[in-house]
Amino acid sequence: MSVPFAAADLADLLAILTAAADTEILPRFQRLGDGDVGAKSGPMDLVTVADRAAEKRIAAAVTARFPEAAFVGEESVAEDPARLGLLETTDLAIVVDPIDGTFNFASGLPLFGVMAAVVAGGETVAGVILDPLTGSHMTAVKGEGAHLGFRDDRPARRLRVAAPAPVAEMHGCISWSYMPGSLRDTVAARQSRLAATYNYRCAAHEYRLAATGACHLLAYGKLMPWDHLAGALIHTEAGGFSAKFDGSPYRPTDISGGLLLAPDEASWEALREALLAD
């Protein structure tokens, strides 16, 4: 490839995710048996046969199409945590969440997604978020904007985050349950400073809200790369501003420190003061 990852490459990656969704995920939706769902780190951190089958299929197709790229999948890292280190030691990596929102998927709720991000030279250079049920998808290549595409013949449209607003008029998704110690209590108590907050238990659809301008903010305490790399790039390419809670840039190797996303830097500063400041 002449560039780290081009739009044509991203189209091929989207096709790989779509094929896995059509063959491994959707046929199992609302058809899981008693032995098809298990827990990983806790009773709400679930994995299903669909997660594992989809990731296996995606990994094989990614390796065939992009043999120079290391594959970092949520389920493969669960089995071998050392694979997460590939983001630091390889020049090109493809990071995949085979089913984001597994809790919803396992519960029969139609709110889940498939996500992939491309990391080259230590930065996220491309990302895709697929809604398997509708086939609609958000894509971004660094420096080329973000777009919402469709499975039918509707033309893709450019994404744009919401216009800035006063803190009291902002609304969005806050995942405070994964924040550490006193910060969790602080953020939970200060949500009333906003117009409204909600949590879909699915970053794929929460990033869609923010990148399409349907909400103003997202805040996360846990930063696993398959959950946030694609969405954070798409949000940035849609005109948004994001940073870790301390104001530093979010990097592909970061798994802690929190992430706050807003329409612009001034909004970010106002939200940080309202939600996080001592």
For residue 217, which of 162, 144, 139, 135 has the smallest C-alpha distance? 162
CATH of range 167-275; options 3.40.50.10540, 3.30.450.20, 1.10.3720.10, 3.40.190.80: 3.40.190.80
Does residue 1 register a pLDDT over 80?
A: no
pLDDT digits (tens, 9 = 90+) for 167-182: 999 999 999 988 988 9
Residue range 209-223: average pLDDT?
A: 97
The predicted pLDDT at position 4 comes to 75
Pair of tokens at residue 4: 């780290």
Which residues of the chain does CATH 3.40.190.80 include?
Answer: 167-275
Residue range 95-108: average pLDDT?
A: 97
Q: Which residues of 44-55 are buried (b: 16+ CB within 10 A; e: fewer)?
A: eebbbebbbbbb
* Residue corresponding to tokens 């969005």: 172
Q: What is 7-158's CATH superfamily? A: Fructose-1,6-Bisphosphatase, subunit A, domain 1 (3.30.540.10)
Q: State how far the Cα of 68 lies from the Cα of 142, in Å rounded to an integer.
A: 20
pLDDT digits (tens, 9 = 90+) for 125-157: 999 999 999 999 999 999 999 999 999 999 999
The predicted pLDDT at position 28 comes to 98
The predicted pLDDT at position 155 comes to 95
The predicted pLDDT at position 261 comes to 98
Which residues of the chain does CATH 3.30.540.10 include?
Answer: 7-158
The predicted pLDDT at position 3 comes to 56
